[in-house]
């Protein structure tokens, strides 16, 4: 693709692609790769290595169907507020009380956290030794209950409801970033049994950790080394290189680029990230918690379109949604990244032994297929999901009647 075609457009742009008439996607994946041979790829942001092996898609039962999660006995549904810890943040009708019906979104402490809140514990540090090193895993672990009705998929929500979700993430990220001791904030969403969800009701999780995880440490080290050598941001330079290459770019909107990473974590991995600061308004887009509502709406539109585009290629699927943010108080500027990680295959012994993922779909092929689907599945901002009905949804309140309330 000529470099001139990769400049930031005034509006939305979907990159052209060649058509594919393969009878099955599994065989098309193998045919699309240059030679059918496997390739080790390295993610320059993290150092993580993956093996891209398209012929793995030809295995019997290479795509594993998920069992359905039980929609009954929903502790997150409206009317069951006492089934969760008390609200830290909520979006609710003006005339309603905390932890009572009348809410649109609730953020509560996770009842089963994997970090210990130092404020609530009297535990001392565990015994540690050179051969058995250990330390307390401290921080805060929240659940965002994303809607009052028992809705199970992000694409069943309206764009307005997803805007509320992103705004809740922004507010809680800002709160945690200003909390003494918190060194990193992570946001993720598990949809479907294969992605690790234990409840069907739409929800996401936010974790503020007092300890930097190994991935955070390596990401910071690599960004700092690149900045020392070049004076530039590593993520921005990687994005510029992707744009020059062009093969893995799916779409560009006013502030965001949607691509399939060179070294994907999973098959059909899609990444959304803000552009290099081409326009003055792009500066705020690079800081997640500072994005204005217009940029949030743009992000929601790209996110929902991306999920629908993958569904058009592989069918309904379980996936993880992960928001990568820079460490709290980090010395270097670093933009956020939102990854959609489909869980359409299972990890096995090799992955557990080596910590190296095997990905069975070549990202250049994924991007080409997704470009074909993008315009077909994109929806106007006021689109109502097909199954948005009273049977699975509460009547949408007037946005002017809702207010954000924080317990902090």
Q: Give φ, ψ of 259 to 5 degrees.
A: -145, 165
pLDDT at 297: 96
- Read off the pLDDT of each residue in 89-99 and give the average, rounded to a whole number: 95
Per-residue pLDDT at 259 = 98
Q: What mean pLDDT comes out for the span 1-14?
A: 42
Mean pLDDT of 38-56: 92
Tally of domains within the chain: 1
Strand duo 319-324 + 337-342: pairing: antiparallel
| DSSP sequence for 215-261 | HHHHHHHHHHHHHHHHSS-HHHHHHHHHHHH-TTEEEE-SSEEEE--
**Which residues share a beta bridge with 142?**
109, 206
- Regarding pTM above 0.85, the answer is yes
C-alpha–C-alpha distance, residues 200 and 92, integer Å = 22
Among 136, 77, 85, 135, CA closest to 110: 85
CATH number of the domain where residue 238 is located: 3.30.428.10
Q: What is the pLDDT of residue 10?
A: 38
Strands (E), 253-301: 256-259, 270-274
Residue 118: pLDDT band (50, 70, 90) is confident
For residue 71, pLDDT over 90 is answered with no
Average pLDDT value for residue range 144-170: 97
Question: How far is the C-alpha of 275 from the C-alpha of 244, rounded, in Å?
Answer: 13
Given a cut of 60, whether residue 20 has pLDDT beyond it is no
Residue 365 within a domain: yes
In a domain, 317, yes or no: yes
Neighbour order of strands in the sheet with 357-359: 39-42, 49-52, 357-359
Q: Which of 4, 6, 3, 8 is nearest to 280 (CA)?
A: 8
The reply to whether 404 falls in a domain is no
Average per-residue pLDDT for the chain:
85
Long-range Cβ pairs for the range 76-83 (8 Å, 24+): 76/145, 76/150, 76/199, 76/201, 76/203, 77/148, 77/149, 77/150, 77/201, 78/103, 78/148, 78/149, 78/394, 81/106
Q: Is the pLDDT of residue 5 over 70?
A: no
The model's confidence at residue 24, banded by pLDDT at 50, 70 and 90, is very low
* Length of the chain as a residue count: 408
Cβ-contact 40, 281 below 8 angstroms: no
Residue 26 pLDDT > 50: no
Within a domain: residue 152? no
pLDDT 10s digits, 383-398: 566 555 444 555 677 7
Q: Is residue 246 part of a domain?
A: yes
Domain-embedded: residue 386: no
Q: Output the pLDDT for position 73.
A: 83
pLDDT at residue 400 above 70? Answer: yes
Separation CA 211–CA 216 (nearest Å): 10
- Residue 212 in tokens: 């930097």
Nearest residue to 381 via CA among 321, 294, 290: 294
Tokens 């924080």 belong to residue: 406
Comparing 233 with 280, the larger pLDDT belongs to 233
pLDDT tens digits, 303-327: 999 999 999 999 999 999 999 999 9
**Is 190 within the bounds of a domain?**
no
Q: What is the C-alpha separation between 328 and 201, in angstroms, rounded?
A: 30
What are 174-216's pLDDT values in tens digits?
A: 999 999 999 999 999 999 989 999 899 999 999 999 999 999 9
- Read off the pLDDT of each residue in 345-369 and give the average, rounded to a whole number: 93
Rounded mean pLDDT, 260-281: 82
pLDDT at residue 104, rounded to an integer: 97
Domain ranges, residue 283: 7-57+232-377
pLDDT at 22: 33
Residue 150 lies in a domain: no
């Amino acid at each position: 693709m000529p470099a001139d075609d990769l400049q930031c457009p005034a509006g939305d742009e979907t990159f052209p692609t060649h058509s594919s008439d393969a009878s099955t996607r599994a065989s098309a994946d193998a045919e699309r790769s240059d030679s059918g041979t496997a390739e080790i790829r390295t993610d320059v942001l993290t150092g993580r290595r993956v093996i891209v092996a398209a012929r793995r898609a030809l295995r019997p039962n290479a795509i594993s169907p998920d069992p359905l999660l039980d929609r009954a006995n929903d502790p997150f549904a409206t009317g069951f507020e006492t089934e969760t810890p008390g609200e830290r943040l909520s979006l609710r009708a003006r005339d309603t009380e905390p932890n009572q019906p009348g809410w649109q979104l609730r953020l509560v402490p996770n009842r089963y956290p994997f970090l210990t809140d130092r404020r609530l514990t009297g535990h001392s540090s565990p015994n540690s030794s050179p051969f058995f090193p250990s330390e307390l895993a401290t921080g805060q672990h929240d659940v965002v209950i994303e809607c009052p009705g028992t809705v199970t998929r992000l694409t069943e929500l309206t764009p307005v409801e997803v805007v509320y979700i992103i705004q809740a993430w922004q507010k809680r990220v800002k709160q945690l970033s200003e909390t003494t001791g918190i060194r990193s904030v992570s946001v993720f969403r598990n949809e479907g049994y294969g992605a690790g969800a234990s409840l069907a009701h739409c929800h996401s999780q936010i974790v503020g950790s007092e300890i930097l995880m190994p991935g955070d440490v390596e990401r910071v080290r690599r960004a700092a080394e690149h900045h020392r050598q070049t004076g530039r941001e590593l993520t921005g330079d990687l994005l510029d290189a992707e744009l020059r290459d062009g093969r893995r770019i799916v779409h560009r909107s006013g502030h965001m680029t949607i691509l399939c990473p060179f070294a994907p974590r999973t098959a059909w991995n899609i990444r959304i990230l803000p552009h290099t600061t081409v326009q003055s308004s792009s500066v705020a887009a690079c800081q997640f918690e500072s994005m204005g509502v217009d940029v949030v709406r743009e992000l929601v539109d790209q996110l929902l379109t991306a999920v629908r585009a993958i569904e058009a290629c592989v069918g309904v699927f379980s996936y993880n949604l992960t928001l990568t943010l820079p460490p709290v108080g980090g010395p270097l500027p670093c933009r956020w990244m939102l990854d959609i990680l489909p869980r359409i295959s299972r990890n096995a012994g090799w992955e557990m032994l080596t910590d190296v993922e095997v990905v069975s779909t070549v990202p250049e092929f994924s991007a080409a297929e997704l470009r074909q689907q993008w315009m077909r599945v994109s929806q106007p901002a006021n689109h109502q999901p097909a199954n948005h009905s009273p049977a699975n949804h509460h009547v949408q309140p007037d946005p002017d009647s809702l207010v954000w309330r924080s317990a902090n």
